[in-house]
Structure formats: structure tokens, C-alpha cells
Structure 1
Amino acid sequence: MVRGRKLKIGVAAGILLATAAGVALARGGSPEPGADLILRGGTIYPGNAAPFKGDVAIRGDRIVYVGPRASGGAGRIIDATGLIVAPGFIDTHTHVNGALASGDPAARLVLPFLTQGVTTAFIGVDGGGDPDVARTFGRDSGAKGGDGEAALGQSSRDYGINFATYVGLGAVRLKVIGPDDRAPTPEELARMQGLVSSAMCQGALGLSTGLFYAPQSFARRDEVVALARAAAEKGGIYDSHLRDESSYTIGLKGAVAEAIEIGREAGIPVHIAHIKALGVDVQGQARAIIAQIEAARKAGQVVHADQYPWSASGTGLSAALMPRWAQDGGRDAMLRRFDDPAAMARMRPEIADNLRRRGGPASLLITSGPADAEGRTLAQIATSAGADPIDAAIAILRKREAGVASFNQSEADIAAFMRQPWVVTSSDASQGHPRYYASFARKYATYVKEKQVIDLRAFIDRSTAVTAAMFGLEGRGQLKAGAFADVIAFDPGRFAPRADYVRPARFSTGMRTVIVNGVVAIENGAPTGAAGGRPLPRQPRTGSCR
């Protein structure tokens, strides 16, 4: 039997997919030497290879056979007839750090990934990655290997899925400089570079940035290049939420050019997070952005991106509407400016323009924040209060920060980006937005089956093998002998999202079996409670951490 540690399963898990038809599970018989479990008779999409009907055999945490027919029996045989069998999906951009790295993850926080077939996720994105990567991975940050490199062994914690993490510009900048709008001193920059280097030696994927967000927006390009170079020396990747996905500051084209130039100057691969053309001023620019990236790639630079399949982005209300200068010094300083007539006289027209570029108050749905605001648009809140939308937004922010779903992308741009072979799947998972529960299911149901923007193999490859190759995830993303046994099986007629903007926390349907490192986490469409996930520290470049 394939066993794993148990997660704590809540009430929601108990009723999950109760109406779904089961996959037959045969038990008994003599186990085949070398196999604990066989998925039999499915249509196998192995990752970067043509599909075929056959079997996948697993022993322990590894795949031991993929082919037309596994000989003999096994301790367990899952009948996958009529199902799509694929590598576990890899989600390159999520905001659920606590759910994955706590060491005692609540099942309700991990299940949205599992019920979509996600077996590996990245955290620490948008510049938020803790420089104490060893702590994130549940290890002693002071541990050293015999060759001087950080000890990158397994944690003793229980995890629902695999995860990797970045070190973040925002976390590093706050630790050294704080929330202020200023450049670092030479001594501070050296400290920041040291934090990045140390994090890389502890297993970080690379450096992530959220240059749109204060205080990271205060960082000039030379500062970012210096930190990216520190990650590059250890073999890392530069992952960036661009400085501008719209027309706030340097514009979308300027922000893409900046990311490419940072990568070129630092000598580091560039990954653009959740690529999009956001807002009325830049809708229709997808083809121009694609041309920019293609030119860099043809020139020999490594540049790629991820994308979530939704027309509404998700961010904070202050990030969407407040000028960056108004956020200098942090939230308390911003609140004081709300009470300063001179500051408000300067701020109000800028907020109005930000609201315009977002598509107006009806385009902003409050997804988290004050209870009386959640689930309503800014337009509805303003109307019910008899207030101007700007005053309504400020009233919300006085209570607390709020999350928003911002409806600001065109379907034509979404499709244009999705068709690129260098754009992989992500969720940008965050509470209050359906992308947490349904991104992979929606991409399949909407853009493969309904709109036929991409075909099934492209969807699977760019959610598995292509992603693993981009980020150097050895042994992940493909079904082949010797690979880690991250395997999923879904019903092609039933795999679909249930979450929407009104009810964002509804599990997807049709995912029949999910196996994480050989541990069956979803069986017959329902969670088993077994935890097979692991931290996935990236090995730093040989000798770079001596």
C-alpha cells in the first residue's frame, strides 16, 4: 500500500464531490515486484510527448513503468478507463504561503489545489518571499552541507502538495530599508545582496519582485539589477510582477522592456508573472508585447511567462487606486494623508484617473476587507452610501485594506498570450477570487473545450513538462520511469470549475485521482487525507555557496 501522513480534513472535504462517479479500485492479489500501484487503461499524456492508451506503475514515490500494459499485478490497481492521465499540474504563482509552508496545513486550504490536479505550487511571489528560506522549508537556516553548501534535505513537516519558493525584493527591502521611498545606501545594498545570496543557498528559486507595489515601486532599476545579479550567481531566476501592467507609470511596453533589460544586465533568465494587458488604455497590446518578448528570445535571452485564465485580475484596493507617493511610509502614513486637505487635493485627481483606467467603479468587486463591503462592487457601495466612488474607496481603506477583483482584460488579449509556447499556466491563487479554486479547471473547460484557443496536449504540456523545464524541476512534469510519482487522472467530460466571482470558494469537479510523490491524495474524486507533498529547494549553482 502507498501511504502518507494524514492532513486535517474539514467539513467541506467530507462533502467534496459527493455526486461524482467513482474510479474502480481493485485490491488483493499478489503485488507485482517493483509496483505498489497501477493506473490502468487511461489515455496517457506523458508531458511533451504524444498521448496513448496504457498504464502507469508506481513504487514508493517513483514511477517505475509507463507504457501500453504493465505486466502482472500490484497492491492497488486504479481503473483509469475513459480518463486522461497526466503529470500533476505545476502552479507557478500563488499567494497561499501559509497553506503550503505552515507544516500543519488545513485541508480546506490545500484542497483547492488538489481538486484541480495541482501537485506543485510556487510561493514567495510578487516580491513577498521570506529571505529565511530554510524556515519556509521547515529546516534550520544555519545547517550546512559537507561541501559548504546549505543542507537541502527534507523537512519533517507534513505537506499536502509540493512547493518551491522565491526570495522577494519586497521582503528584503522592508527588512533593510523599511517602507520609505528612497534608494539604499551602498551598505544597505550590500546587506540586501547578502540576504538574496543566503536565500539562494538555502534553496530559493530566484528573486521575485512586485515592482507595481509600494515600497518595491520605489526601487530603481539599478537596485533591482544588483539583487538579480546576486540570484544569478547562484543559478536563480528573475520572476517579476511588472512595474506597470497598464498605464500607471512607464506603461506596459516600458515595463516589459525594463524586465528584459534587468535580465540582460544581471545575466539571469526572466519570468514575467501573470502576463496581461490590464485596463482600457492598453487592451489590444498583447501582440505588441509578444513581439517584444519574441525579439529578446531570438536574440538569445531566456524570457518566458505565466498566465491565469480570468478576465479579472486581483489586487489590493490601495494598489489599484492610490498613488504610490501616497503610500510612502506605509499604511499609517497613507491614512494620515487622507486627513490632510492639501494631500487629498493632489490625490483625488490621480485616484480618479486610476479608477478610469481600471474601467470605473462597477469594474471593482471587493473580494476581502470590511464585512459590509465584501461581494459588492465599488459602484454599489458608493450608491448605497450616497457617496462619490472615491470617497467610498477611502472609507473602506480607513477600516482596513481590501482585496478587489478588477475586470479589466479583453478575451482577445488573453487568447493571444495563451497561444504562446512560452506561456505556462498559473493561478495567482488568493482568497476571495475564483482563480484559487478553479484556474486549471477553467482553462481546460473554457479555453480547451469551449473556445478551443489551445488543444488538450498544449494545456497539459504547459501545465506540466514545459513548466518543469523552465524552472529546472528535476523529475517533475513528466510521466516516465524514474520520475517522481506526481500523477493525476481526470474525467474529460466532467473536469470543470464550480467557483465564480459570486461564490469563489467552490471546489472544481471531475478530478478523479491525484497522487503526490506516490501518495494517493484524491481517490474516486474525494480527498483521502494523506499528505505526500514536499518542499522543493532549488540546488544552487555548484560551488557558489562555499
Structure 2
Amino acid sequence: MKRRDFLKQSSRLALFASLFPSLPSARFSPLFLTSSSKSSSSQFSYLSEFDLLIKNATIINGLGEPPFLGDIGLKDGRIAFIAFKQNLGSEEKKRGQDETERLLYGQMEIIKREHRLAEPDQIKDLVQGGNSQTGNRDEGKIWKAALFDRFNFQAGSRLVRAGRTKQTEAIKAKQIIDAEGKVVCPGFIDIHSHTGIELLVNPRAESKIRQGVTTEISGNCGSSDFPLREILSEEEKRYFERLGIKERWTNLANFARILENKKISLNWGTLIGHGTIRAYVMGEEKRVPSASELETMKKLIAQGMEQGAFGLSTGLEYTPSGFAEREEIIDLCRVVAQYGGIYATHIRSEDNEVIEAVGEAISIAAESGLPLEISHLKACGQRNWWKMPYLFDLMEKANQRGLAVTADAYPYTAYSTGLTVFFPFWALASGQEEFLKKLRSPEERRKMKAETEEKLGGMPWQNVVIVDVQTEKNKALIGKNIFEAAKERGLDPFDLACDLIVEEKGDVSIVGFGMSEENVVAILRHPLVMIASDGSALAPYGPLHRGRPHPRNYGTFPRFLGRYVRDRKILPLPEAIRKITFMPAAKLGLKDRGVIKEGYFADLVIFDPVKISDQATYTNPEQYPVGIEYVIVNGTIVVDHGEHTNRFPGQFLAK
């Protein structure tokens, strides 16, 4: 590498460091390597048997670089061996020339650092023969397998160079997977998930693990599974009874212990939900907290961070999180900053005031000193679609000022939430019972109607589809839009919405078709955006089988890779993989995950790039994707030929 090129890369690294300050053990200083290689014959002389040998796969390491043909070995749940065979292509020219993309160009080199673990006594797993995208450009030398190793500059990984397949085929393995023509990449990390107590109901995490998700980050949109009072509210009791949950906990440490004892199929981490904390301390009251209440919230957040949470989330379109003023959130975020966490926010408006809401989120991050994650970035309602470039501009300029602002999004033009989201906050204040009382009053309804329909952002009631209710009386409405259901009952759509909320005690789920396809593509392509589901681990059977859930619960990641990357070619595949592996891992500061690198945890996905596709639709959402052949979590195969193996190697991930 020429010195001037090296210095350019070092500069990119320094810039990118501001985006992901929580990246564990990241060093942004240059690493100068010579062409000599330290012999590792003594290290690999004991490679007599592996637990797993995956042959002939296309390995994409998560850093956004081109694939190469290579072999990977795993031991004790970690990647212990990578064999390079053949580079499969030169690096594609990066899209665009704007400053943000030039900034992010350096992220693929961010793990150019030595991070070697003590050599294990015996290597268990070997992924062999893959097209491994570790981006090594030193193609002039081919080293014999299991004889030499070196730190790989571009990927931050030591590679064992294999000139001929037979050199690694000679190694014995307990199990061999021939993955010829398949892609091997890091397990997908869903940075915006709502999976929590669902794992107590069904620890197999069916709808997520079958997508290739190996790590779920929950506690988003201001709602987390903790803290929980010892005496449950009536609403909580009904919910727990419906799901058959008998376990009880009060804090994150308790909940994590229950998960570990229960055994789960994927890794799980969480944020602290601001709305949950606020309700625990203040109930549903719409007011500024007292000094003692604010102090109690700070202590609960500090406790959650000490017990392993990754940061704080707000759900500012929901109660009670949305009752908080900017100053309250800044005060609480400053506690999180002391622990190196992040601030993730469902912003105060995703429609008519979305520009102002993004601006508020950035200002909170700036004043509290936290990295910012804007949840499910969008501009809802046709009248607001034009605002999307301005949101990008706000984010890009914030990063140019030294802030760490990123976002996540799902590859759909419809969102999913509760029907109450359209109603004004003044009506929702003081809790659910008071709100339902207001809805029973014709006079109060008249006061709400204009504000509620304005919140639709120009979206007609025909675009709001009922997907779940609680009573048998209303189950026939599932799958119908509000306008259609209202017409059947001879009602105005707004009155039908009010009646439904009253009859269902506030628990009505909807899917809203509010985004443009053009904006969805622009968001997915943007270098500051990673991909996430905003969904939960569901199953087409048992208590988690109910209603007509948004297809994102079953199809987010295969849809992104199949429909948008392979078919529509909005991004190169390596760049797309980076958005669902390295990028969320770096944002959160996940240790030893998100990259195929020696010494890292063996969370891997093997998929068919030709076949990968979502099958879940809005009318038939409970369908697993196709093309996901294997999913490996901490070195254990959880999905084998697309089928769940009933294994539970998942771990609670603490900050």
C-alpha cells in the first residue's frame, strides 16, 4: 500500500470513529505490516478434529469489502481459523460523492487492529471453502493452510492462506457442511427489536432466528421489560395471563437470570425504556417530574446500566414517554453517558412535525453527549414525503459537527402500532381509564376528531388496517381497513375507531400504509442507516400466534437482501451485510460480534443468495423466509436446512 493511500484510510478511520464511539477496543491508529508472516505451525499442529467444517462458501465478513473464497474454523463458540483461497472480485466503486459517504467509506477498515485471544487447546469448528470477504488485497502470496498466519490488515483478522482445497480437507471434523454457492456472513443483529417476554413464552424465537437474526436488542420505543413492580397492575395481569407467563422479576438482572435459566435460541440485549421508567415512578401523569421523582428515575437508569443495558430509549409519540419535556430527557441521558451507552428514540413526530422532531433528537444527543439512534426513520403521510431529504441533511450535518447520529429502518412502506397513536396527548393524559371515559363522551369525541385526523398526515382511513383485537366480537374486523369496517357498521371512520378502542380497552393493533416506496429505497441506501425489524420473535403456533401481525416480524432481513439488494440492486451485497452486522455491533459496542474475525463469537448465517426471499405478506404474514440454510449462534447450529434444531445457545448480552 502506498503511503498516501494509507494516510487517506487513516483519515477516514478518524472521521468514522465519531460515528461509533462505543466500538469496543477500537484503535484508530495505523497498523504497519510487513510482508513477513509469523509461523503458526506450532499453534495449528493440534488441529486433529473440528466440531464443524463448512466447505465451499462465499464469506462476507460484515465490513463492506468484496468476498473471497475461504475457510473458517470455530472452537468453543468462537471463530478460531480462517483460510483464504481466492479473491472473488475487486472492490466496487462507492456510490455517491457526498461528504457523508466519504466519511463512511472508512468504516470497512475500522477493525484494523490486533485483537488476538489465547489459543484454545483444540479448534472445534472450521468453516472451510467459502468466498470470504475479509478484503485482503495482498493477492501475490498464497500460504499453505495451517502453516502460517498473519494479521489481515483490511479485515482485522488473521488468515490461513490455502492454495489448494485438499490442504484443509485433510483436517477431520465431527460435522461437515458443504456450502458451495452459499454466502457465509456474520449473524444479523436486529438493533431495533421488541422481543422480550416473548422469549419466556417461546424461547425458540422462531420468526427471528429463521431470518438469520442471532442477536436481538430490545427495550426500544421507550418500553422495556423492566423495572416491574412486585404487584402487577390489572392490565399487566391480563397480559401475563394471556401469554401464560408465570415468572416474576423486578429489574434487568432478575429478567436476565430468568432468560439464562430458560435457555434461548438467540442472543438478547436491551435498552432501558424511558416510558417504563416514567410510569414506574410517576404513573401516566402529564407533568414535569418533581426533583425526587427525577432522582428516582436517574437511580433506576443507573441500576439498569450497571446491570448491562446498552442505553436509554424514548417513545415520544406514546404515553407516558411523550409527556416528558426535552430537559427531562437530557437529564436522564446524562446518566447513560456516564456508562458509555446510547440514546435511541422513537421521535416525537414521524409525520407533520418530523423535521422538528429529528432536530429535537439531535439536540438532546448533543447536550447529553450520547450517540444517537433514530428509530425506524420515516416521513409518514403523503403530505410529508417531500421532507425526507431534509431529514438526511440534518443527520449528515450533525455528524459533520462531531455528533454520532445514525438511524435504523425496515424495508416496508407500512408501519405497525396501536390505534391510539393518532389521538391527541391531552386526551391520553391521566391514563387509560380516563381516556376511555372521554371516548364515551360525544362532546369529547368532537374535540378530538380534527386533531386525530390531522395526525394521519393526509393518509386516508382506508390506509389504516386492523390487524389485532382482543374480543371475539371484533375479530371479524381483522384484515379490514377502518373505512371499510366503518361502512359495514354504518359509522363515520373516526367513530368506528373510537368505538373499537373502547370495546377493546385500548388494545387495537393496526398497520398503516403511510410511506412512499421511493423514500424507503432512499432510507435503506443511506450510509447512516442500518436495517432493523421493529418487530418481535413470534411463531405461527401457541400464544404468540394471534391476529395478523406486520410481515416485518417474519421477513425483514430476507426481504432487504432479496427484494432490495439482489433484485433491485440498491446496494452491493457486502455493503448490505455491513448494515445488519458490523454497523449495529459498532453502534452498540457489542464485544467480539458483528464481524467474521478470528477470536470473535461464532454467530454466522449461511444463505443462498439466489433464493433468499421473504414469504410473509400483509394478508398472510406468518410465513418463514426461504434461502436461509443455516443459522449458527455461539458456535451451535440452531437452524439446519431451514429447520429449527431445538437448540438454545443464546446468551444475555451485557454492555
Establish whether TM, by shorter chain, passes 0.5. Answer: yes
SS at match of 2:475: coil
Asked if 2 retains the 8 angstrom alpha-carbon contact of 1:208 and 1:240, the reply is yes
Which residues in structure 2 correspond to 1:446-465 (within 5 Å)?
446-465=563-582
Asked if 2 retains the 8 angstrom alpha-carbon contact of 1:238 and 1:271, the reply is yes
Does residue 400 of structure 2 align to residue 281 of structure 1? no
Deviation of the 1:121 alpha carbon: 0.8
SS at match of 2:223: coil
**Alpha-carbon separation, structure 2, partners of 1:96 and 1:468:** 18
Change (3 A) 1:284 1:33: farther
The residue number in structure 2 matching 1:412 is: 518
Which residues in structure 2 correspond to 1:50-449 (within 5 Å)?
50-68=66-84, 71=168, 72-100=171-199, 102=200, 105-107=202-204, 110-129=205-224, 130-131=226-227, 132-138=251-257, 155-247=260-352, 251-319=353-421, 321-355=422-456, 357=457, 359-369=459-469, 370-400=474-504, 401-430=507-536, 432-449=549-566
Aligned letter for 2:428?
Answer: Q
- Candidates 37, 41, 45, aligned match of 2:52: 37
Deviation of the 1:345 alpha carbon: 2.2
Aligned letter for 2:591?
Answer: E
**Alpha-carbon separation, structure 1, partners of 2:195 and 2:420:** 20
Deviation of the 1:34 alpha carbon: 6.3
Unaligned runs of 5+ in 1: 1-30, 140-153, 539-546
Aligned letter for 1:55?
Answer: D
**Alpha-carbon separation, structure 2, partners of 1:365 and 1:349:** 20
Deviation per CA, 1:149-175: give whole Å up to 9, x if none: xxxxx9333011001101111011001
Deviation of the 1:395 alpha carbon: 1.5
Asked if 1 retains the 8 angstrom alpha-carbon contact of 2:203 and 2:262, the reply is no
- Candidates 601, 604, 607, aligned match of 1:484: 601
SS at match of 2:260: coil
Asked if 2 retains the 8 angstrom alpha-carbon contact of 1:307 and 1:427, the reply is yes
Deviation per CA, 1:194-217: give whole Å up to 9, x if none: 111111000000001001111111
- Candidates 638, 641, 645, aligned match of 1:521: 638
**Alpha-carbon separation, structure 1, partners of 2:428 and 2:583:** 39
Asked if 1 retains the 8 angstrom alpha-carbon contact of 2:362 and 2:398, the reply is yes
Aligned letter for 2:178?
Answer: D
The residue number in structure 2 matching 1:27 is: none
Asked if 1 retains the 8 angstrom alpha-carbon contact of 2:615 and 2:625, the reply is yes
**Alpha-carbon separation, structure 2, partners of 1:46 and 1:367:** 38
Deviation of the 1:35 alpha carbon: 2.7
SS at match of 2:535: coil
**Alpha-carbon separation, structure 1, partners of 2:426 and 2:477:** 26
**Alpha-carbon separation, structure 1, partners of 2:202 and 2:561:** 27
Deviation of the 1:438 alpha carbon: 0.1
Q: Figure out how many residues of one structure are paired with residues of the other and give that number.
A: 485
Deviation of the 1:106 alpha carbon: 4.5
Deviation of the 1:457 alpha carbon: 1.0
Asked if 1 retains the 8 angstrom alpha-carbon contact of 2:187 and 2:604, the reply is yes
Deviation of the 1:32 alpha carbon: 4.3
Aligned letter for 1:297?
Answer: N
The worse-fitting range, judged by mean Cα deviation, of 32-41 and 259-268 is 32-41
Asked if 2 retains the 8 angstrom alpha-carbon contact of 1:358 and 1:408, the reply is no
Asked if 1 retains the 8 angstrom alpha-carbon contact of 2:562 and 2:609, the reply is no
**Alpha-carbon separation, structure 1, partners of 2:210 and 2:619:** 20
Asked if 2 retains the 8 angstrom alpha-carbon contact of 1:285 and 1:413, the reply is no
**Alpha-carbon separation, structure 2, partners of 1:418 and 1:106:** 30
**Alpha-carbon separation, structure 1, partners of 2:193 and 2:366:** 26
**Alpha-carbon separation, structure 2, partners of 1:413 and 1:278:** 10
Asked if 2 retains the 8 angstrom alpha-carbon contact of 1:424 and 1:466, the reply is yes
Q: CA RMSD in A?
A: 1.5
**Alpha-carbon separation, structure 2, partners of 1:450 and 1:92:** 25
**Alpha-carbon separation, structure 2, partners of 1:393 and 1:410:** 24
Aligned letter for 1:136?
Answer: F
Asked if 2 retains the 8 angstrom alpha-carbon contact of 1:166 and 1:206, the reply is yes
Asked if 2 retains the 8 angstrom alpha-carbon contact of 1:240 and 1:259, the reply is yes
SS at match of 1:190: helix
Asked if 2 retains the 8 angstrom alpha-carbon contact of 1:85 and 1:488, the reply is yes
Asked if 1 retains the 8 angstrom alpha-carbon contact of 2:382 and 2:516, the reply is no
Asked if 1 retains the 8 angstrom alpha-carbon contact of 2:49 and 2:174, the reply is no
**Alpha-carbon separation, structure 2, partners of 1:384 and 1:125:** 36
Aligned letter for 1:39?
Answer: I
**Alpha-carbon separation, structure 2, partners of 1:333 and 1:281:** 32
Asked if 1 retains the 8 angstrom alpha-carbon contact of 2:196 and 2:218, the reply is yes
Aligned letter for 1:405?
Answer: V
Unaligned runs of 5+ in 2: 1-45, 86-127, 129-167, 228-250, 539-548
Change (3 A) 1:489 1:358: farther
Deviation of the 1:450 alpha carbon: 2.1
**Alpha-carbon separation, structure 1, partners of 2:312 and 2:627:** 36
The residue number in structure 2 matching 1:6 is: none
TM-score, normalised on structure 1? 0.86
Deviation of the 1:254 alpha carbon: 0.6
Change (3 A) 1:469 1:210: same
The worse-fitting range, judged by mean Cα deviation, of 417-426 and 290-299 is 417-426
Deviation of the 1:475 alpha carbon: 0.8
Change (3 A) 1:421 1:352: closer
**Alpha-carbon separation, structure 2, partners of 1:363 and 1:345:** 22
SS at match of 2:257: coil
Choose between structure 1 and 2 for higher RCO, CA contacts under 8 A separated by at least 6 residues: 1
**Alpha-carbon separation, structure 1, partners of 2:393 and 2:260:** 43
**Alpha-carbon separation, structure 2, partners of 1:453 and 1:282:** 23
Deviation per CA, 1:297-327: give whole Å up to 9, x if none: 00001111111000001110011x2111111
Asked if 2 retains the 8 angstrom alpha-carbon contact of 1:34 and 1:64, the reply is no
SS at match of 1:137: helix
The residue number in structure 1 matching 2:143 is: none
The residue number in structure 1 matching 2:125 is: none
SS at match of 2:583: helix
TM-score, normalised on structure 2? 0.72
**Alpha-carbon separation, structure 2, partners of 1:422 and 1:216:** 26
Deviation per CA, 1:474-533: give whole Å up to 9, x if none: 111111110101011001111111100001111111100110001100112211111111
Identity rate, percent = 34
